[in-house]
Amino acid sequence: MIYQFGLGVAIAFFLAAFNYPQLSPHLLSSLSPVYPDGLPGLALLLLRFSLGGLFLLHGYPKLTHLRQWAESLKMPVSLCLLSAASMLGGGIFLIIGFLTLLATLPILGSMIYAIYLDVSGRKPFVAQDPYLIPEDQYKGPLGTGEPPSWEKAFMYCVMLIAIAVLGPGTYSLDALIFGR
């Protein structure tokens, strides 16, 4: 059912872009990259580099343990492969600032789906502080860790949207290749 919904959204967007020509230029012009320099450019570099590095750290183990991850989510291996590859490849592209908007979108889709899984699994937005939980009530997968919540996936979405809207900044390959 989720697959049909995602496919339906993609087809609807594609048809809307061609059936309503006035939609495409407005949509694309609102997402045109900006290349701020100075402190804002450095802030975007820090955001891109940090977020890209985090997605490398999340994507690589998922890719190397793909079957185990797919089984834990009860998802097809092919979809988990797409998600892990988008995290790994998108992370690299975010770090170097290349095709930044296109790098953010697949990762954003994965994070929105992660939120969906957490919400449908009735996980809280912010979990109770692990130091306040009695020892016998929660132990993470390896005996330690934080209780599950969807706040981390939400924050990743916020950061990805900020990069997609603000652009990669001056200190990126996009700025070097596509100019200011």
Report the amino acid identity of residue 81.
Answer: L
Angle at 69 between CA 74 and CA 9, to 5 degrees: 60
49-102 per-position pLDDT tens digit: 999 999 999 999 999 999 998 998 888 999 899 999 999 999 999 999 999 988
Give residues with Cβ within 8 angstroms of 150, minimum separation 6. 114, 115, 118, 119, 123, 124, 125
- pLDDT at position 140 is 59
Average pLDDT, the chain: 78
- pLDDT at position 1 is 43
The pTM assigned to this predicted structure is 0.73
Residues of the chain with pLDDT under 70: 1-34, 128-147, 180
Place of tokens 């900006």: 34
- Cβ proximity of 56 and 88 under 8 Å: yes
How far lies 138's CA from each of 52, 73, 145, 147, 149, in Å?
A: 30, 20, 9, 7, 13
| Dihedral over alpha carbons 81, 82, 83, 84 (to 10 degrees) | 50
